Amino acid sequence: MTDAPPDAATPLAQAVFLDRDGTLNEDRGHLANPDDVVFFPQAAPALARLGGRYRLFIVTNQRGVAEGILTPEQVEAVNRHVVAVLARAGVAISRVYTCPHLRSDGCACIKPNPHFLHRAAQEFGLDLARSWVVGDHPHDVELARRAGALGLYVLTGHGAKHRAELSPGTVVVPGIAEAVDWILAHS
């Protein structure tokens, strides 16, 4: 796949937008060092099952940058590590989108604002209505709703803690493997 958007005759691609911490890897607070990333064992094999049918993206809020806990370089190093580990397992992440702001900053890019999904749709020729957002926070499924995509809520990470905050009808699955099962069964 190339990074150029398709021409008008090419059908728009489907995508899966993945939260990082708590969805692909354990949420261990503000990750400053790639060595601290602990993937959920099922993450890479599950994503590999998508078999190139979907463009994969990571969308992550990293407020630790605004709080002075993390540097942008540390966040980028962790993101590069996550992408490299997944690539070694045959999983291609097209792009990682990171919001380094506090919610109180009022930025356009913090989840659940759909800024990054709209940007990815434009840059990669995506059909958001046939795309998915997977995450462990109510903001992830709200992000899907605001972008016109389909949302899946995982119970890993902070998922169990925030489950009561979900809107009725939200699809809830135990983890990333079951999210991939759902996507494959409903696409």
**Each residue's pLDDT tens digit, 95-138:** 999 999 999 999 999 999 999 999 999 999 999 999 999 999 99
Alpha-carbon gap, residue 143 to 60, rounded angstroms: 12
Alpha-carbon gap, residue 44 to 48, rounded angstroms: 6
Residue 136: count of CB within 10 angstroms of its CB: 27
**In-domain check, residue 38:** yes
**In-domain check, residue 158:** yes
* CA proximity to 76, closest of 56, 54, 95, 102: 95
pLDDT band at residue 2 under the 50/70/90 scheme: very low
Q: Which residue has the higher pLDDT, 16 or 187?
A: 16
**In-domain check, residue 1:** no
pLDDT score for 52: 82
The answer to whether the CB of 50 falls within 8 A of the CB of 56 is yes
Active site residues: 19, 21
The pTM score is 0.93
Q: How many domains does the chain have?
A: 1
Q: pLDDT digit string (tens) for 15-35? A: 999 999 999 999 999 999 999
**In-domain check, residue 141:** yes
**In-domain check, residue 50:** yes
- Give the CB-side neighbour count of residue 65, counting CA atoms within 13 A: 17
**In-domain check, residue 5:** no
* CA proximity to 97, closest of 1, 15, 42: 15
Burial-class residue 186 by CB neighbours within 10 Å (0-12, 13-18, 19+): exposed
Give the DSSP per-residue string, 142-177: HHHHHHT-EEEEESTTTHHHHGGGSPTT-EEESSHH
pLDDT score for 7: 52
pLDDT band at residue 3 under the 50/70/90 scheme: low
User: What is the domain extent for residue 178?
Assistant: 15-185
- Among left, alpha and beta (phi > 0; psi -120 to 50; other), residue 181 is alpha
The CATH number assigned to the domain holding 67 equals 3.40.50.1000
**In-domain check, residue 88:** yes
**In-domain check, residue 143:** yes
Q: Under 8 Å CB-to-CB from 168, ≥6 apart: which residues?
A: none
Give me the percent of the chain exceeding a pLDDT of 70: 95
Looking at every residue in the chain, the average pLDDT score rounds to 94
pLDDT score for 1: 43
Look at residue 184 and tell me whether its pLDDT is greater than 90: yes
Cis peptide leading into residue 112 (ω within 30°): yes
